[in-house]
Structure 1
Amino acid sequence: MTGQASSTSRSLPFHLKTLWLISRSDVAPVLVPHCIAGLANLQSGWVLGSNQPAADVTQLIIRLGCMAIWIWLNLLSLDLANQRLDESVEEDSINKPWRPIPAGRLSQNEARHLQMLVIPATLGFSYFAGGLQESYVMIALNWIYNDLGAANENFWLRNLMNALGFMDFIVGASVVAGGPGAVLSHSGWLWVAMMGGCIFTTISLQDLYDQEGDSLRDRKTAPLVLGDLTCRVMVSVAVLGWSLATPFYLGFTLPKLAILMLLSMTIVGRTFAFRSAASDRRTFKIWCLWIVVLYALPALPDLPTGLIL
């Protein structure tokens, strides 16, 4: 499949909109949460090591801007690698026809050429802004997930690759936000590993609303292999479990627990009560909010209990 692009006049706004459409569906689950993660880990005082360089307000703003660009560049490369595949174009024509390739804004060959530009641009940016090692790791994960087909072969492997990718985004965002010489502390690595566990055991929620397209690609996702109900039970138990475990790991406070339990109970309730593809998509958006709150926990103050009573 060659994926011929439309002959529509290609002005700068056209290209900018195309770039937006490539990453649009990953803004809520990837870009925003990992911007929050980088900022929260920077402000936590313990996720990054003691050699974290001090910064004034101007430097901090520059670092946070670099962090957002670093996340987006790596995300753009991931999206291009996935969306240019023949199976992806066929699936997107059903699930996401607005994406640039099925919509005729970009050909598969043009997407490949664009990725060939984005990868060195990402590495060059990472060399100066930080997160170079994490960008190398992301390239390797991208190759395994998309080109070697790890996304399709086995849902446990699929979930593991997603978890490793999210962990890499957390680490990269944190060190870029921290500035030159910033590294994670031992406790920071444990926290990142815990977040990886959250992703590994709950990311199958996104596969609930994509079952038609995944079935077309013969992708071995959890709902298709284990069954829809079993997948819903598995994800629900994991969401509740992590909502209890993470506040206790950080030092129990009732407000933090209450916020997480409210979100987790909403996710669980919707997962069983509303089971259409559209409803599952909305539930996944609440899951994205749940992830944002988890990522923000290291920097959240210990609010007075009376504020939630």
Structure 2
Amino acid sequence: MLNSETEAAALMSRFVAITLRHCETAWLFTGSDFKTIIFPVMIFATVVSPCHNPLALSYALCWLWFHLFQFNASNQSYSALEDMLNKPWRPVPSGRISVKDSRTLRWALMVFCLGLSSLFSFNVVMSSGVCTILLVMHDDLHISHHPIFKNLCNAAGYVTFELGSLLILSRDSSLDGTSIKALSCSALVIFLTVHAQDFADVSGDLKSGRRTLPIIAPEGSRIYMLCALPLFSFALASFWNLGPLSSGLFVSMGSWVGIRYFLFRDKIGINQTTVWIMGVHFLPIHGRLPILAW
């Protein structure tokens, strides 16, 4: 009897240890993208949605995380070589999971994500399907190796995340005018600025043979950020009809981040871009509630 209890306790302990290890692996696949994808997308969905419900918010967050997990399981299985230099703590380069198992996980997550999406609406299922198609184009068809097509694919994928989360949170199968305008602005901004994340990965991208904008035009891409971020900030403030103080603060933020990219060659500017992107995703709230009229 004692031996049976001991064996049961040992099996339970092993099961818990394995479960915790798998949870940690899942976290390592997605943890670094909370500030660049999870938080901005959830801010966007929350401020743009005409409806607000805590349960729907948790559903949207769950849907978004699993689709991000699917994307990263695939993407990181192809970027293991560069991740050994840029992000050695990720599951594949650190040896927590093999490339083969990561790609198997990717396809399993695709099926799971489609099934999860079917619990909501047909348009959410379509969003999940488009996300998978973009993932195949990005990784399997190697579009990520072309700087312009990579930006297009990333922008489309980002907006797909936003669309699915917004549809779940709003509990509607269609979008109103404010939602469409917000998605259009987000797509344009992401397409024109997403290469900012490539500045920190130049060494790994060079080793893997990728041709990103910071590699093709190291100085020109920084001059672009210097000029584009203030211009985009002003255009967005005007588009959403912000008040003078709100506009001034947002344009100042964009100008400061642009200056940081040009003058300093560290990761601080990249982190500040994340704050600016969150601000971009918060601006559509003025289309629902005029709280930025000051």
Larger radius of gyration: 2
**2:162 is matched with which residue: 149, 160, 170?**
170
Equivalence for 2:60: 67
The question of whether the paired residues in 2 share the 8 Å contact of 1:37 and 1:173 is answered with no
The 2-side partners of 1:164 and 1:200 are apart by 8
The 2-side partners of 1:136 and 1:220 are apart by 28
Is 1:97–2:88 an aligned residue pair?
A: yes
Judged with a 3 Å threshold, the aligned counterparts in structure 2 of structure 1 residues 66 and 160 are, in CA distance, closer, same or farther, namely same
**2:197 is matched with which residue: 197, 203, 206?**
206
RMSD, aligned CA: 1.7
The question of whether the paired residues in 1 share the 8 Å contact of 2:49 and 2:169 is answered with yes
1:190-236 residue CA offsets vs partner (Å, 9 max, x unmatched): 331121111111111111111111111111100111x2110011123
- The answer to which structure has the higher helix fraction is 2
Structure 2: segments with no counterpart, 5+ residues: 1-15
Is 1:233–2:223 an aligned residue pair?
A: yes
Give the total of aligned pairs.
274
The 1-side partners of 2:279 and 2:173 are apart by 24
Structure 1: segments with no counterpart, 5+ residues: 1-8, 44-53
1:155-193 residue CA offsets vs partner (Å, 9 max, x unmatched): 1111111111111112111111111x3421244223311
The 2-side partners of 1:259 and 1:292 are apart by 14
The 2-side partners of 1:293 and 1:219 are apart by 30
**1:112 is matched with which residue: 98, 103, 114?**
103
Is 1:266–2:256 an aligned residue pair?
A: yes
Is 1:288–2:274 an aligned residue pair?
A: yes
Tell me the CA shift for residue 302 of structure 1: 2.9
Is 1:82–2:75 an aligned residue pair?
A: yes
Of residues 33-42 and 233-242 in structure 1, the stretch that sits farther from structure 2 once superposed is: 233-242
Is 1:147–2:140 an aligned residue pair?
A: yes
**2:125 is matched with which residue: 129, 132, 139?**
132
SS in 1 for 2:226: helix
The question of whether the paired residues in 1 share the 8 Å contact of 2:226 and 2:262 is answered with no
The question of whether the paired residues in 2 share the 8 Å contact of 1:34 and 1:170 is answered with yes
Runs of 4+ in 1 over 3 A off after TM superposition: none
Give the partner amino acid of 1:286.
Answer: Q
> TM-score, normalised on structure 2?
0.88
Alignment of 1:35-50 (within 5 A): 35-43=42-50
Judged with a 3 Å threshold, the aligned counterparts in structure 2 of structure 1 residues 303 and 199 are, in CA distance, closer, same or farther, namely closer
Higher RCO (C-alpha under 8 Å, 6+ residues apart): 1
The question of whether the paired residues in 1 share the 8 Å contact of 2:242 and 2:293 is answered with no
The question of whether the paired residues in 1 share the 8 Å contact of 2:242 and 2:292 is answered with no
**Seq. identity, %:** 26
SS in 1 for 2:175: coil
Tell me the CA shift for residue 73 of structure 1: 0.9
